[in-house]
Amino acid sequence: MQTELSKKLGVEHAIFGFTPFPAVAAAISRAGGFGVLGAVRYTAPDDLKRDLDWVEAHVDGRPYGLDVVMPAKKVEGVTEADVEAMIPEGHRQFVKDTLAKYSVPELAEGEAAGWRITGWMEQVARTQLDVAFDYPIKLLANALGSPPADVVERAHDRGVLVAALAGSARHARKHKEAGIDIVVAQGYEAGGHTGEIASMVLTPEVVEAVDPLPVLAAGGIGSGQQVAAALSLGAQGVWLGSIWLTTTEADMHSPAVTRKLLAAGSGDTVRSRALTGKPARQLRTEWTDAWDDPNGPGTLPMPLQGLLVAEAVSRIQKYEVAPLLGTPVGQIVGRMNSERSVQAVFDDLTRGFERAVDRINRIAGRSGQ
C-alpha cells in the first residue's frame, strides 16, 4: 500500500492516523503507518513535551507528526479572559439550565475543567510548535486551514512537510498558494470539523485542483476497500481519525463513551456547532439536540462556544451522564463495533485492500498477471 508520498516519508503503508492519544500515534507508526498526534488539548507546553518524549521512545525509530489548530490570520493582544468576557449571560444560563435538567453534579471545589478549547487560540498553538520543533517530527498538519506563512517557513526550514485540511477544491487551491505540501481532502462523513461535500465527490476534485501536490483522502474511511477506492480516485494516501477511538490503545477515560461508540450506527452522528462553534460531526445526544433546538439561544462562534461549554463537557464526561455524553466521531462509527488493537485494525485494512485490488484486477482481466 505504498505511494510516492509514503515512500518519501519512509512508511510502509500510505495510512496516516490522526489521534489525540500518544499510545495510538506510536502504535500506528510501529504498524507501518504514519501516526499524527493531535496537539489541541495540550495547553501546557510541559504536558506536550512529556507525551512527545513518550512517543519518541515508543515509535521504534519510525516517523510521526503533529496536528495543531491555528488560524491563518493572526489576532494580536487577545487573551482567553478577553474572549470569556464576550460570552452572553443568557448562554451561560442556558448551560446551567440544561445541566440542571439532567441533574449533572458540580465539579469538586477547586477542580478545573479537564476539557478546554484554548488550544484553538493561536498563541497556544505557537507554544506547541516551540516544543514540537525540538523533536524529529516529519509532518505538521493544521486542521484550520493553512497555517500562517511564518509557520510554514519555519517548518520547511527544518525539513518538515506541512499539511492542511480542506473541505472544498476552493480551500485546497488556497492551501497550494500558501505553500502547503500535502492537502487532506476531508469529506462530509468525517468526524470533527467538516464541510458539506462527501468524500467520493471531494477527493477527485481536490486532486485535480492542486495537482501535482499529493492529496490524502479523509472522511468515512475505515476499511481496506475504502482505502483502495481513495487511491483509485487519485489520493496518495488516507487520513483516518475516528477508527482509532475504539482501539485498545486509546485512552478514552470513559467506558460509557466507548460503549456508545461500539453501539452506534452510521446514522447516529450529527454535524453540530455545540462543541466548538463550527460544524463538527459527533455522536448525536440530547446535548447536541438542545443546542440545535430552534427554541434555544443557538451556539456562539468559535472560540466562544468552546470556552462556554468547557466546564459543562468536563462535568458530563466525569459523571458519565449518558443522555448528554458524546464525542466527535465520523459516520464510520457504524463499523466500529468491537475493541481491537491498532495492529489488528492495520491487518484488517491491508487484507481488505488486497481483496479490493484483486477484485479490480479480475474485473479488468488482469488476474494472474
pLDDT at 307: 87
Distance from the first to the final alpha carbon of the chain: 18
Residue with cell 446535548: 287
The pLDDT, as a whole number, for residue 253 is: 82
From 121-125, 203-207, 352-356, the region with the lowest mean pLDDT: 121-125
What pLDDT shows up at residue 123?
77
Instruction: Please tell me which residue, 186 or 252, carries the higher pLDDT value.
Output: 186
pLDDT band at 292; cut points 50, 70, 90: very high
3-state per-residue secondary structure call for the chain:
CCCHHHHHHCCCCCEEEEECCHHHHHHHHHCCCEEEEECCCCCCHHHHHHHHHHHHHHCCCCCEEEEECCCCCCCCCCCHHHHHCCCCHHHHHHHHHHHHHCCCCCCCCCCCCCCCCHHHCHHHHHHHHHHHCCCCCCEEEECCCCCCHHHHHHHHHCCCEEEEEECCHHHHHHHHHCCCCEEEEECCCCCEECCCCCHHHHHHHHHHHHCCCCEEEECCCCCHHHHHHHHHCCCCEEEECHHHCCECCCCCCCHHHHHHHHHCCCCCEEEECCCCCCCEEEECCHHHHHHHCCCCCCCCCCCHHHHHHHHHHHHHHHCCCHHHCCCECCHHHHHCCCCECHHHHHHHHHHHHHHHHHHHHHHCCCCCC
Q: How many CB atoms lie within 10 A of CB 153?
A: 12
Average pLDDT, the chain: 92
At residue 168, what are phi and psi to the nearest 5 degrees? -155, 160
What is the strand order of the sheet 192-193 is part of?
A: 192-193, 280-283, 269-272
pLDDT range class, residue 7, cuts 50, 70, 90: very high
> 322-344: per-residue pLDDT in tens?
999 999 999 999 999 999 999 99
Instruction: Check residue 125 and give its pLDDT.
Output: 83
Identify the weakest region by mean pLDDT among 16-25, 103-112, 256-265: 103-112
Cis amide leading into 71 (omega within 30):
no
Give percent of the chain above pLDDT 90: 81
> Is the pLDDT score of 212 beyond 90?
yes
Q: What is the pLDDT of residues 102-157, one digit of tens each?
A: 999 998 887 766 555 555 567 788 899 999 999 999 999 998 788 899 999 999 99
In angstroms, the CA 204 to CA 187 distance is 11
Residue range 46-57: average pLDDT?
97
